[in-house]
Structure 1
Amino acid sequence: MTLAETPFSDLARGQQRLAGRVAVVTGAGAGIGRGIARMFAAQGATVHALDIDAAGIGALAEETGGAVRAWPIDLLDEAAVQQAITTIGSEAGRIDALVPAAAMAVFNWIDTMTYAQWQHTLRGELDIVFLCTHAAWPWLKASGRAAIVNFASANAHVALNGSPALAHCAGKGGVMAMTRQLAMEGAPHGIRANTISPGLILTQQTARHMASDPGFEAFALEKMMIKRIGQPEDIAWTATFLCSDEAGYITGADFRVDAGSTAW
């Protein structure tokens, strides 16, 4: 049973590893962000889900019985992000976990990529992380034990043969470098910052891509040591660990959750 199929009440597996935490998760309307928001709520956190997909996060809030609060906003609108996160921080007095899972990218080869597509991808993978982190920083400092989990990618480590991911590689490599800097700047304030580098995870977007390219899944599986496509729960469990006290000595690190595809 996948995370998406698992009843919300069963996700915690008897655990409350994030009990009492205040978490902000972006991109929670679908895919990895949604999986993390569900998992965090089941693990006892109060989760604030930020996404432009009002219907998606509204359904998530309803499913979780109010453990997830929906904030439908454009995550590239600086004023809207600042207002939402300031309201969250002011009401709770702190933010304990920040997971900027939202991202937007254009995949194209260098000879056909336009400058507008390049800029769109860097805004959708770098600016989108900066804006929410900048807004949340005072409230993360107020926590005294806060965790940031950002998303790099297998593409931040290796060039995947056949993948037209030039701008995506640049964006995710930038996220990894940014996160190391955040770890340094946050350490005196009790803020830890780490990245997860997912491999191929089954989401609505990747499902559409596999449906349009019948040979893609078999090609991807050849590169994996564990012969299955990843599920959002594979990422959600890793994020739960990184935001818990169990990871209290971990910062500035990257976790490759990719079935060993970058370890060859």
Structure 2
Amino acid sequence: MVGSGRLAGKRVLITGTAGGQGAAAQAAFVREGARVIGCDVQAGAAERTAAALAEQGFDVAGDTVDLADAAAAARWVDESAERLGGIDVLYNNAAGAGFAPFADMSLDLWKHVLHVELDIVFHTTRPAWRHLLATGNASVINTASMSGERGIAPLGQAAHSAAKGGVIAMTRTLAAEGAAHGVRVNAISPGFVKSPATDKFVGDELRAFQMGMHLIRRPGTGEDIAHLAVYLASDESAWVTGQNICIDGGVTAGFR
């Protein structure tokens, strides 16, 4: 079912659609008329979230893909582009994680975090780039973090901050390279968003600390982030590129 919504007919790839922000975005995009192929590293999970929407008549599919494997990521992008007939939007939502105080951070952990939070953005965007250039009116949305904008001691996030700062810098450079070809590239930097991933790493004490930094004293939701992603994917944001938009309940307000 392709409707007449804000993303009507747009061909979209979304990574990390097993749950949380990715699943929320997938649902929001198809309800706005997009055709979506999602993926996730959890076996069968992207297929399940897509199937639930497909049963409602939406044009959506999901695949199990380990984006940390560059060859597998490229294969997924190219096969998806063939299935959709091109790519209008690439939403790099998926990311891994890893935290430790810097004094305890091993080189292996440092490399792991950069691989699953920064390298995987390259793994999908590089093969998608030629498809996006061919479209001539395309949007790339990268998921960064408020951690790429400010330091937060208790989480032990030196590697995470470095990776997300790299995503922000990459976003700006790709926006500069893509502008002449009609490709817009923007980043979303969420604050603390309640999700299965954050529940795994953030206990009650750290959650309270995070909430103490928010002007709006509640965690974000996947739907909060999805609304912004829909805007950046749509033609409503045709004059928006190279931006890192913080959606964080006010954490970064006045920080600079």
TM-score under structure 2 normalisation?
0.93
Residue of structure 2 equivalent to 1:150: 142
CA distance in 2, matches of 1:225, 1:141: 40
CA distance in 2, matches of 1:259, 1:102: 21
Residue of structure 1 equivalent to 2:100: 108
Give the C-alpha shift of residue 67 in structure 1.
Answer: 2.4
Residue of structure 2 equivalent to 1:245: 235
CA distance in 2, matches of 1:15, 1:74: 33
Given that 1:29 and 1:54 are in contact with CA atoms closer than 8 Å, whether structure 2 keeps it comes out as no
Letter in 1 for 2:53: T
Give the C-alpha shift of residue 170 in structure 1.
Answer: 0.3
What whole-Å deviation, never above 9, does each CA across 1:110-142 have from its counterpart, x for those lacking one? 111110100000001111000100111111112
Runs of at least 5 residues in structure 1 that lack an aligned partner in the other structure: 1-8
Asked if 1:191 is matched to 2:173, the reply is no
Describe the SS at the equivalent of 2:189. Answer: strand
The partner residue of 2:36 within 39, 47, 50 is 47
Residue of structure 2 equivalent to 1:17: 6
CA distance in 2, matches of 1:48, 1:214: 35
Letter in 2 for 1:239: A
Q: Does the C-alpha gap of structure 1 residues 208 and 92 become closer, same or farther in structure 2, counting only changes over 3 Å?
A: closer
Residue of structure 1 equivalent to 2:126: 134
Given that 1:93 and 1:139 are in contact with CA atoms closer than 8 Å, whether structure 2 keeps it comes out as no
Give the C-alpha shift of residue 95 in structure 1.
Answer: 0.3
What whole-Å deviation, never above 9, does each CA across 1:60-85 have from its counterpart, x for those lacking one? 12111152211211112222222221
The partner residue of 1:56 within 30, 45, 61 is 45
CA distance in 2, matches of 1:155, 1:189: 31
Give the C-alpha shift of residue 196 in structure 1.
Answer: 0.4
Give the C-alpha shift of residue 98 in structure 1.
Answer: 0.3
Number of aligned residue pairs: give it. 251
TM-score under structure 1 normalisation?
0.90
Query: For residues 188-227 of structure 1, what are the structure 2 equivalents within 5 Å?
Result: 188-210=180-202, 213-227=203-217
Give the C-alpha shift of residue 242 in structure 1.
Answer: 0.4
Describe the SS at the equivalent of 2:104. Answer: coil
Letter in 1 for 2:87: I
CA distance in 1, matches of 2:207, 2:161: 20
Residue of structure 2 equivalent to 1:84: 76
Moved more, 48-57 or 148-157: 48-57
CA distance in 2, matches of 1:151, 1:43: 20
Residue of structure 2 equivalent to 1:231: 221
Q: CA RMSD in A?
A: 1.8
Runs of at least 5 residues in structure 2 that lack an aligned partner in the other structure: none
The partner residue of 1:166 within 147, 150, 158 is 158
What whole-Å deviation, never above 9, does each CA across 1:177-234 have from its counterpart, x for those lacking one? 0000110111111100000000000101222344xx3223322221111111100011
The partner residue of 2:21 within 32, 35, 53 is 32
